[in-house]
Structure 1
Amino acid sequence: MPEHPRPTAPEEDRTLSPHTGCTRAHWEATADRMLAAALRYATPGQALIDLPGPPSKSGVRSDGLEGFARTFLLAALRTAGASGKDPHGFLERYNSGIARGTRTPGRDDAESWPVIGHHGIHGQPMVESASVALALRLTTPWTWDTMPAADQDRLEQWLRGALRHTPAPNNWYLFPLTVAGFLESVGRGDAETRRGIERGLDLLDGWYQGQGWYSDGDGRSFDHYNGWALHLYPMLHAHLAGDRALLDHLGPRLREFLDGFTLLFDANGAPIHHGRSLAYRFAAGASVALGALTGMTPLAPGVTRRVLSGALRHFLDRGALTADGVLSLGWYGPHEATLQRYSGPGSPYWASKGFLALLLPPGDPVWTATEEKAPAEGPDRALALRAPGLLIQTTGRDGLARLHNHGSYKLDSREPERAPGNPLYARLAYSTRTGPTSAANTPDNHIALQARGTRSARVRINPLAAGPDWLASSHRPVFPEGGPVLPSARIESLTLARGRFELRVHRTVGVPAGTPIHHSGWAVAASPEAAPAEAEQRAEIRLDGPEVTSQLLGLYGWQTQRTVRAPQGTAYGPWALVPELTGTVEENPAGTVFAALASLTGEPGASRLAGQATAEVSGLTVTVRWADGARTVVDFGDGGPTVTTDRTAAGDPA
């Protein structure tokens, strides 16, 4: 089949979209460009799309199905949103691929799709079956309804493999739900499909933790999967099925989720850099579009489009697409540390979910309203989400968003804790303009003990307490295998957000006196020349990067400070610097408490932290006096930490 010409980018519209310049036409043109680029790598029979790049652990054939399924979803959103208009003939190629791929599933040839197996045993095709099923459901008149009966039967049998095998114990249970929803929508439902839907919904309710957040399976894994999977699949199923009862049950959760989640998009469009599968990038906006599509959103239409278009443009402007239009494996460009073992060349195309807003007709207010500011561009906010253990902090002057983690970790309840931990979950804080350092480098935003020359990791995070602008948690310091063990030791950590400032207080429990303790701040992607000389370093560490300034100041308990090099860099640059404080645990109660003031800002010429706050400690009570006259008292009593703030004399803290 002939290659598709590269679509021409529309002109910006700064009247309708003063913040991004993007309109619906830009979304359509981007979808067309991505599809045209991906389809150049289709097999002759169109059944697999073998995109360039290193294979995933599932192998090349599974990766080829992944490339097909995830781009098929993009083609479906593009076509369904245009009421079936398909000027580039994309669906014709996907129809051909489905017929060829399901003719002899499992055969070792150039076109046959792999069969769907159990998780861990050829299970990846189950993930892709959901994209195929959802795409078919969106395009039934132009795909399924045009297929010969024999092709429909073969396709159904392949899809039913998702209903007959065991998913991973997390969001994977929503893939059979999605497959079952499609089969029922085309009159092929039965007891097996009903069980698939009921099982998924029952598990979903069990994973719901409150405040709009689901854990990704048992445990406390909270990340972007909450939006682009756990809300998306069941809510979209309810919407397409016209199931009002299910929409009324799940919809308020989505609305509450979006009320906080949309703060985690930077004024520059970037979503928060936290959790796994970040190569999906602007799929982070899928739940924002879903809220508008189902009427379950707290956002005005102009705000919805601002968030969605901001995220899309953020990545397009920074090179997420290669020169030939392929979505790369990484964040901006290729970045190995961003990936997981299951990431293959087709994996990034779950970003297709970010195009969900195309299902809204061109006349919908999301497309016709004038863009408004993003939520992060409003007043400074500190929002403590007790259920997932996440503290959101935004500052309107620079539009930067930060996420302080006191409750999310990626670890099955049956798994042991192992160092070094997952950098995408184990850090104390994440932002929209910084990324975590590699597991092989000094960790940013970390608290660690040192014993026998090795440092501890933070793996399983246990929420302790919360207030309107603060959260606290504890963890057991874990050392590398074969390293030291500190019986009954733990570290309690507390973060309080105030304007651009972060008060970070830690307490050690059961840690031997004389043990070194280290605390790091925000990593900054920078050049080696930006590292201050050791002799020039003062009590306050300041690191100026191209877009942000990181500052860290010890308030109590810290004895030395330095800047550490992270030569593997972050997703934001190939080389980075990390500020670090070091102290020593002492015998007396006050010697087990450590306090610091941190800041990450995009404002140029940020003022020094010195003088913004002072701290004194009596026993296990920390009293912090702010420059504006306010006073914060942190008490690490036996019942868990408590915080009181006297704002009587407080003004603007920033």
Structure 2
Amino acid sequence: MSIPFELPTEDRASSPYTGYTRAHWEAVADGLLWAAWRWGTPGCALLDLPGRPSRSGVRSDGLEGFARTFLAAAFRVAGAGGEDPHDWLGRYARGLASGTRTPGRDDAESWPLILDHDVQGQPMVESASVALGLRLTAPWLWKNLDSAVQDRVEEWLRGALRHVPAPNNWYLFPYTVAGFLESVGWGDAETGAARERALELMEGWYRGGGWYADGDGRAFDHYNGWALHLYPVLDAHLGGDTAALARYGGRLRAHLDGFGSMFGADGAPLHYGRSLTYRFAASSAVGLGALTGHTPLAPGASRRLVSGSLRYFMDRGALSDEGLLSLGWFGPHGATLQPYSGPASPYWASKAFVSLLAPADHVLWTATEERAPVEEADRVLALTAPGLLVQSTREDGIVRLHNHGSDHVRPHEGESAAEDDPHYGRQAYSTRTGPTAGENAADNHLSVEVGGRGSVRRRIHPLGAGQGEGWGWAASWHRPVFTGGAPMVPGLRVESVTVARGPYELRVHRVLGAPPGARLTHTGWATGPEEPLVSALHGLHGWLPGTETVRAPQGTAFVPWAELPRLSGEAGGTSVHVCVAVLAGEPVNVSPAEAVTAVEAGDGGVEVVWAADAARTRISFDPVTVTHAQGAAGPDA
């Protein structure tokens, strides 16, 4: 699809995979800003972008437009050493003056005050982008503001320090505000307390291996990169705090050791978790790692990932004809959104422009692009802290994520709420498919049906994960929650294990405590009927013969209409169910029906023999353990 502004000529010598250079990044930033500023108010304090309003209201949405585009402009200007050929900072300086005036009859542009998250929360989110933008551009913007404007900006920002954030990454917003105020000499006990509080909470959220939970629950998603790593690492980098940079930068390095493998060969990030309309913000952690040196990735591989992600969306209709980022994935897509999504929400994609803080002579831009991890070899990577299993195949460039540890249920919330959360509750996600909408048949889902009501997967309890040479596994259990307000069945429990090997996924479920007459359905990947993708399920044990095809008329973020394979079976007491699933793209030629030559299954475990090499995988229950032996050569893990 065409991009509604001009880009430089591709450079296939230095960027053989994407053609993008640093000049392309600057051009995209400028193009996004030009398009967004067409909707600026006369005093420049609000950008009232067209589209459905968020639940926070039009004034808050306008502030969001100002703040999030300011972040892009700040990275753009700071990365150029203060050069501002389009006078972006002049617009934002005028907006700061207008937005912080005391609301009154003749002032239609004043910003809403920052209050508690459950009263008027969105301004607190935007305060972080305003503060970070000011910190990045302080020599050229803040230091030239009138002192009265500085005082008003400070007073508005301090609302973030004096009110209660949401119990998750929101605590990093007052942290970022405090960091800016301290950087310009306006720190005090209030700023120090906000920073100490955030860092203390993060210690409780850190689960190891570079992964933070987004709050006290088990939500592991893209917020790890574009929030939980971004703010503390960038703060330490900008402040020259070597001790903090070593601590938080080391965690970023560990995170990127796995996260770097989560981008497809086409540049796509995994379609998983909430706020996916932020799109190429998913690459911000990669750019930050390259900027600070806290990354296991070579500079050329880092640029391959960040530029690949940016181009992926630029080439696939993320921009409207007017050059605005739409509310969706490629183009507009309502099921991708959350209730807090407003017209300017997608501009948190601006975080990806942290890469521009690396100057033109930085190795991120001077090194030749290298292959992304997915392009190097088939990979299976077990991430034990979040309970995730990453599986990728080099030939078709697809990355798959098997979820056995991440949900979006807070510890204080009841487990019996029956809402289907497509962005967290499905068993698998990928870079080529999206989850089906909640009103359609759920993809990658095991449903226990009792009394005609199906179940959803809410709270996920990890049971372990591991890997060997060319294979890996992850396991979890959950209590099925039934739709329509039906009560939970006492004692009913589902234990699930995924074993990934090559393009195949061995999926094993043990259902315990099922009442007589219970039925099961299990679905695979949702794809469009005309896509060059194979999505298939083959039952090995515990399923009725045959696989049916189920329609999902609302489609996914990738296709307007989708279909998915489904198996059916019966359960009662304790039962074990085994199948092989496949998602593959051209030129991969796979058949799940031919993947396994033998299977033995019982209440105590499952053993399968793989057709390709007679290797054996053994899954034992009580407790869950998985071993794999290469033919007659003995176990390799």
Using the size of structure 2 for normalisation, the TM-score is 0.96
* Distance in 2 of aligned mates of 1:619 and 1:39: 63
Give runs of aligned pairs for residues 271-350 of structure 1, distance below 5 A. Answer: 271-350=269-348
* Distance in 2 of aligned mates of 1:189 and 1:482: 51
Give the deviation of 1:250 after TM superposition: 1.1
- Residue of structure 1 equivalent to 2:496: 493
2:584 to 598, 601, 604: 601
- Residue of structure 2 equivalent to 1:623: 607
Give the deviation of 1:110 after TM superposition: 2.2
* Distance in 2 of aligned mates of 1:649 and 1:93: 71
2:194 to 193, 196, 199: 196
User: What percent of counterpart residues are identical?
Assistant: 61
Contact 1:420–1:456 at 8 Å: present in 2 too? no
2:594 to 591, 611, 614: 611
- Residue of structure 2 equivalent to 1:56: 54
- Residue of structure 1 equivalent to 2:561: 575
* Distance in 1 of aligned mates of 2:614 and 2:424: 35
Give runs of aligned pairs for residues 314-463 of structure 1, distance below 5 A. Answer: 314-417=312-415, 418-463=417-462
* Distance in 2 of aligned mates of 1:188 and 1:612: 65
- Residue of structure 2 equivalent to 1:239: 237
User: Which ranges in structure 2 are unaligned for 5 or more consecutive residues?
Assistant: none
Give the deviation of 1:386 after TM superposition: 1.1
- Residue of structure 2 equivalent to 1:92: 90
- Residue of structure 2 equivalent to 1:254: 252
SS at match of 1:425: coil
Instruction: Answer yes or no: is 1:153 the counterpart of 2:151.
Output: yes
2:521 to 507, 518, 522: 518
* Distance in 2 of aligned mates of 1:215 and 1:429: 19
1:182-203 CA distances to partner (integer Å, 9 max, x unpaired)?
0000010000001111111111
Contact 2:5–2:323 at 8 Å: present in 1 too? no
User: Which ranges in structure 1 are unaligned for 5 or more consecutive residues?
Assistant: 1-5, 527-544
1:509 to 512, 526, 529: 512
Aligned residues: 623
Contact 1:452–1:484 at 8 Å: present in 2 too? no
* Distance in 2 of aligned mates of 1:486 and 1:573: 36
Instruction: Answer yes or no: is 1:647 the counterpart of 2:630.
Output: yes
Runs of 4+ in structure 1 off by over 3 angstroms are 105-109, 648-651
Contact 2:278–2:347 at 8 Å: present in 1 too? yes
1:156-210 CA distances to partner (integer Å, 9 max, x unpaired)?
0000000000000000000000000000000100000011111111111110001
SS at match of 2:544: strand
Contact 1:208–1:214 at 8 Å: present in 2 too? yes
Q: CA RMSD in A?
A: 1.4
Contact 1:494–1:506 at 8 Å: present in 2 too? yes
1:583-608 CA distances to partner (integer Å, 9 max, x unpaired)?
00145x5xx00000011111336232
Contact 2:453–2:484 at 8 Å: present in 1 too? no
* Distance in 2 of aligned mates of 1:403 and 1:249: 28
* 2:610 partner amino acid: W
Give the deviation of 1:474 after TM superposition: 0.3
* Distance in 2 of aligned mates of 1:56 and 1:564: 33
* Distance in 2 of aligned mates of 1:450 and 1:456: 6
SS at match of 1:315: helix
Give the deviation of 1:450 after TM superposition: 0.5
Taking a change above 3 Å as real, the CA distance of residues 190 and 319 of structure 1, as seen in their structure-2 partners, is same
Contact 2:544–2:569 at 8 Å: present in 1 too? yes
- Residue of structure 2 equivalent to 1:552: 537
1:443-497 CA distances to partner (integer Å, 9 max, x unpaired)?
0000111111110000000001222110100000001243243112110000011
> More deviation in 173-182 or 447-456?
447-456
* Distance in 1 of aligned mates of 2:584 and 2:590: 10
Give the deviation of 1:647 after TM superposition: 1.0
* Distance in 2 of aligned mates of 1:520 and 1:636: 23
- Residue of structure 1 equivalent to 2:31: 33
> More deviation in 251-260 or 482-491?
482-491
* Distance in 2 of aligned mates of 1:311 and 1:547: 21
SS at match of 1:401: strand
- Residue of structure 1 equivalent to 2:475: 472
Give the deviation of 1:8 after TM superposition: 2.7
Contact 2:584–2:590 at 8 Å: present in 1 too? no
- Residue of structure 1 equivalent to 2:223: 225
Give the deviation of 1:514 after TM superposition: 2.9
Instruction: Answer yes or no: is 1:114 the counterpart of 2:121.
Output: no
* Distance in 2 of aligned mates of 1:606 and 1:152: 63
Give the deviation of 1:109 after TM superposition: 4.0
* Distance in 1 of aligned mates of 2:603 and 2:73: 63
- Residue of structure 1 equivalent to 2:136: 138
* Distance in 2 of aligned mates of 1:618 and 1:240: 58
Contact 1:271–1:284 at 8 Å: present in 2 too? yes
Give the deviation of 1:620 after TM superposition: 2.3
* 1:585 partner amino acid: A
Contact 1:451–1:484 at 8 Å: present in 2 too? no
* Distance in 1 of aligned mates of 2:330 and 2:576: 39
SS at match of 1:454: coil
Give the deviation of 1:105 after TM superposition: 4.7
1:402-429 CA distances to partner (integer Å, 9 max, x unpaired)?
1000010011111123223210000000
